[in-house]
Amino acid sequence: MKKKYMIVGNWKMNKLIEESLGFIKKLAPEITDCDVDVLLAVPFTSIHPTSKAAEKTKIIIGAQNMNDARKGAFTGEIAGIMLEEAGAEFVILGHSERRQIFHETNDFINKKVERALQDDLMPILCIGETKEEKDKNKTEEVLKKQIKECLDKISKEDVENIKIAYEPIWAIGTGETATVVYAEKIHKFIREYLKQLFGKKCADNIYILYGGSVTPENVSILLKQKDIDGVLVGGASLDLESFLEIIKNSVGV
């Protein structure tokens, strides 16, 4: 059975509460009949109000990061149980900006993935290579290391509850998109490696999303690929018309 496509908007550090609520109020009635899963990763301050506004709609609200601890002396951090209490249903982990700007390691991300699962949050695990790694033909080596270390000690049953987002770092916010052939090739490689680690059934069931300058123009051709189950949308998710067009262009692909 074909998976229902997943469209995830990552707002990053954008939109105040009022603007977020206005966005959801306008988006919700437009996607009532769209047979895709629509997720929005909003800033922490907007999780509670937007999750309330999204009740009885097709929009699922989540977070962009969390700590691996449940509580304690971690100034400025937030726990998964806090996100869940506020109304988040999923959390993005290991985004390239967290890895590069905040120096997050695979080991730390692995601990976050474990904690998210314990706290009933669906993890969206981001992996991807830099331009330098790609140019040195190290893409597969880098991805294998990220997958193996970030999913260390995670059971087969739990892995099926994790979504993986492949984001070629060189294509994020640059306007440069991986060719469809390249994106599908990498997604197929990821699925084959997951098969080695967790078995065919598990690998087939896992959602693998593509993230990297996704637009209304390229989303349908991306989703036509066998191993691309959805998209992680950054900049284009901030504009209502653009994000809505991405969603509508995903229907019936």
Catalytic residues: 95, 167
- Identify the three-state secondary structure at position 98: helix
Q: Take residue 177 and report the two structure tokens written for it.
A: 């998109």
**DSSP strands (E only) in 189-251:** 208-211, 230-233
CA–CA separation, 193 vs 196, rounded Å? 5
Residue 142, H or E segment:
helix 139-150
Q: 172 by DSSP, 3-state: which?
A: coil
C-alpha 199 chain-centroid distance: 22
- How far is the first Cα of the chain from the last one, in angstroms, to the nearest whole number? 15
Residue closest to 17 by CA, chosen among 61, 74, 57? 61
Amino acid at 190: I
